[in-house]
């Protein structure tokens, strides 16, 4: 597998280098030189395959021999060991549950696959791998659990002070061992900027072997394609093949993976990018001017991103032609008030509890249908996190219907272990060096 930088198509590397040097020195992002389509027989009979079988086939096609089949199969069997069910809510509305992994968020797909790929490529005697990751909520917990105890690896997680839920914070700050957390007095965008700057700092790269566990790393994006193919397989078993996916979108890695699956040949009719008031992309769709802005704290905190990294990948897929993007992607944004209204509406309509991110994705379906007139397609909204991670937004009967998983109960009574810094690169740099 060969990958190129979005800033320089002539700069190509192999998969191993892209995994360990997650961001090119020219500050682009890595993309596959070629995006192979699975054979028509696979797509035509996809309903016959399990999630792990689909993952093995899709990963094998993308990686093109970068990992031998036997080893790749072992990685997938170990990493993707939890379900991603599609549940029917009514005749043409379904929810794809992506919170059945260890950290109760969709990020488990990427974090677990990536940690095992890195461990596979690590050679005896190599310098310790330093994994840097910025989180707006769920990434941190998934990465912490994905890398916990991995030999010769140290993980540093940066998160914005006061802007993640209490459970999210405990998930990323109570692990110990090779996991350390930094509480940044700033926003997620500040955390992300610190990580990106570290990758282009000469002294840090000479001293450490740095890589990223954010979705700027291609090894995070590849496994997220698996659940789109698997969702389509489940729908096809019910005779549903005219599919629209509504995706809660912050850093745009999740929908970016869906579009990569579409480029590979997955027959998706439309993607809906559903954001909160951090609406850089929906505004871009309206104005034609891409203008990143400081992120704003919301109820759907994992989507609080004002400058989404993966948008450059999506534009690259469409050769920077916004009009072509609009043929496949609809972008909509919602306020906290609309999010609060959507949660009880979903419960009243379906007796189903959604987290605030998922509520936004559900709400976007109704608006997409009204704007497009497409009421016949099967709409699937992605449920990206377990509702128990956001207890403050639920009341009464809805709160009573949330089952608390064992891994959350195990966090009770634990104390967070963090280091506090300002949103200042020199301070972050001193922490890493010292």
Q: List, edge to edge, every strand of the sheet that includes 2-5.
A: 8-14, 2-5, 30-32
d(Cα 96, Cα 232) in Å, to the nearest integer?
10
Known catalytic membership, residue 326: no
* Chain centre to alpha carbon of residue 227: 12
Find all residues with CB under 8 Å of 218, minimum gap 6, and list them.
3, 15, 18, 19, 22, 29, 30, 31, 32
**Are 410 and 368 a contacting pair, CB within 8 Å?**
no
The three state secondary structure string of 255-288 is: HHHHHHHHHCCCCEEEEEEEECCCCHHHHHHHHC
CB-based contact 264:225 (threshold 8 Å): yes
* One-character DSSP codes across 106-145: THHHHHHHHHHHHHHH--TTPPPEEEEEE-SSHHHHHHHH
**Catalytic annotation, pick one of 16, 48, 107, 319:** 107
Describe the crossing of helices 218-237 and 107-121 by its angle, rounded to 10 degrees: 130
Count each helix (H run) and each strand (E run) in the chain, helices first.
19, 14
Give the residue numbers marked as catalytic. Answer: 107
């Amino acid at each position: 597998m060969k990958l190129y930088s979005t800033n320089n198509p002539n700069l190509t590397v192999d998969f191993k280098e892209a995994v360990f040097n997650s961001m090119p020195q020219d500050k682009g992002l890595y993309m596959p030189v070629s995006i192979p389509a699975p054979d028509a027989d696979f797509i035509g009979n996809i309903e016959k395959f399990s999630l792990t079988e689909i993952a093995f086939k899709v990963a094998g096609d993308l990686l093109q021999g970068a990992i031998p089949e036997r080893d790749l199969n072992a990685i997938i069997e170990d990493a993707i060991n939890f379900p991603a069910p599609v549940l029917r809510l009514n005749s043409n509305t379904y929810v794809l549950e992506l919170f059945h992994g260890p950290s109760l968020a969709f990020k488990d797909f990427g974090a677990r696959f990536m940690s095992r790929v890195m461990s596979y490529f690590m050679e005896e005697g190599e310098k310790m791998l330093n994994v840097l990751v910025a989180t707006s909520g769920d990434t941190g917990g998934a990465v912490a659990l994905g890398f916990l105890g991995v030999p010769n690896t140290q993980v540093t997680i940066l998160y914005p002070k006061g802007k993640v839920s209490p459970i999210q914070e405990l998930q990323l700050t109570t692990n110990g061992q090779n996991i350390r957390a930094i509480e940044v007095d700033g926003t997620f965008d500040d955390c992300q900027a610190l990580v990106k700057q570290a990758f282009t700092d000469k002294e840090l790269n000479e001293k450490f072997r740095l890589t990223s566990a954010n979705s700027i790393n291609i090894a995070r994006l590849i496994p997220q394609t698996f659940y789109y193919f698997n969702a389509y397989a489940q729908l096809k078993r019910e005779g549903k093949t005219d599919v629209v996916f509504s995706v809660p979108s912050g850093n745009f890695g999740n929908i970016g993976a869906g579009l990569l699956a579409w480029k590979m040949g997955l027959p998706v009719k439309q993607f809906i990018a559903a954001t909160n008031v951090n609406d850089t992309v929906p505004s871009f769709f309206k104005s034609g001017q891409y203008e990143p802005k400081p992120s704003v704290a919301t109820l759907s905190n994992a989507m609080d991103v004002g400058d989404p990294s993966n948008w450059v990948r999506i534009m690259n897929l469409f050769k920077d032609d916004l009009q072509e993007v609009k043929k496949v992607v609809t972008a909509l944004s919602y306020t906290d008030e609309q999010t609060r209204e959507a949660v009880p509406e979903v419960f009243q309509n379906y007796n189903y509890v959604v987290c605030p991110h998922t509520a936004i994705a559900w709400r976007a379906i109704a608006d997409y249908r009204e704007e497009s007139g497409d009421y016949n397609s099967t709409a699937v909204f992605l449920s990206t996190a377990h509702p128990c991670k956001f207890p403050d937004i639920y009341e009464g009967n809805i709160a009573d219907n949330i089952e608390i998983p064992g891994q959350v109960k195990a966090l009770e009574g634990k104390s967070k272990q963090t280091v506090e810094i300002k949103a200042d690169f020199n301070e972050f740099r001193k922490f890493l060096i010292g």
